């Protein structure tokens, strides 16, 4: 479904990503692991057009999208939840979800109910200002708002960062549900426990290059690789 090929991205003269390549299939959860500053967030931003790659290709559903503006990439079916969430704190939970609505009214209504089923905490807090819910619930809201656009692929940047273990468990259940519904999920993470609980395959990025690729089972069994690329 999503194919990234030989991606090179720069910030000014700084070469941040070098020949990054990865694949995500429909109904698959793939994690991009790495230390702070390794290039995880830049990879996701390059895919959705927040940062324009200098060379390489991003192909989605058989169509090249790396030269499209971000709004057209979103309309093609890719949702993106940045690390800083960017929710509207003065709006209610429901109003935040309304911002993400797209498509026919009947389809949108059905999506809202699916989102509330996925995140019951949000259903209970639907009329509360988003600035008054917990950090974990705000992360859920950021994901839920993106899901209101009915993406077939969703990119999550550090979704478990700073969350309490109970909220991480709820996030785990939500990602598994997305997978079972056929949504492709690409997430960047440093939380090994969360990544191991949800992902089918893993890529490890080190200094802007893909240093390791394999199944989660293979990476879990490769203590040397985890120590080399992921240990702080």
Residue spans of the chain under pLDDT 50? 103-109
Q: Tens digit of pLDDT for each residue in 79-125?
A: 999 988 788 999 999 999 988 875 444 344 457 788 888 898 898 99
Predicted pLDDT at 105 = 43
Predicted pLDDT at 8 = 98
Predicted pLDDT at 230 = 85
What is the second-level CATH architecture of the domain 1-75+190-232? 3-Layer(aba) Sandwich (3.40)
Mean pLDDT of the chain: 90
| Percent of the residues in the chain that have a pLDDT greater than 70, as a whole number | 96
**What's the pTM?**
0.90
Starting at the edge strand found earlier in the chain, the sheet holding 209-215 runs 78-81, 153-157, 184-189, 29-33, 201-206, 209-215
Domain spans in the chain, listed from the N-terminal domain onward:
1-75+190-232
Structure tokens that stand for 126 in this block? 């639907």
In angstroms, the CA 30 to CA 24 distance is 6
């Amino acid at each position: 479904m999503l194919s990234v090929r030989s991606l090179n991205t720069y910030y000014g003269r700084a070469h941040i990503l070098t020949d990054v390549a990865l694949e995500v299939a429909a109904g698959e959860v793939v994690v991009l692991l790495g230390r702070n500053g390794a290039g995880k967030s830049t990879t996701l931003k390059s895919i959705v057009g927040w940062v324009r790659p200098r060379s390489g290709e991003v192909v989605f559903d058989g169509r090249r999208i790396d030269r499209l503006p971000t709004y057209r990439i979103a309309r093609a079916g890719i949702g993106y939840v940045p690390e800083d969430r960017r929710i509207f704190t003065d709006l209610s939970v429901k109003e935040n979800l309304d911002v993400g609505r797209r498509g026919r009214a009947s389809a949108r209504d059905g999506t809202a109910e699916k989102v509330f089923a996925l995140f019951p905490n949000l259903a209970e807090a639907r009329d509360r200002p988003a600035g008054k819910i917990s950090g974990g619930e705000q992360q859920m809201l950021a994901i839920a708002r993106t899901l209101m656009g009915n993406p077939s692929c969703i990119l999550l940047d550090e979704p478990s960062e700073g969350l309490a273990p109970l909220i991480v468990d709820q996030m785990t259940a939500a990602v598994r549900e997305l997978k079972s519904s056929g949504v492709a999920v690409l997430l960047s993470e440093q939380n090994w426990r969360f990544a191991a609980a949800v992902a089918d395959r893993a890529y490890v990025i080190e200094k802007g290059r893909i240093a390791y690729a394999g199944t989660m089972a293979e990476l879990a069994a490769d203590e040397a690789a985890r120590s080399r690329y992921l240990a702080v």
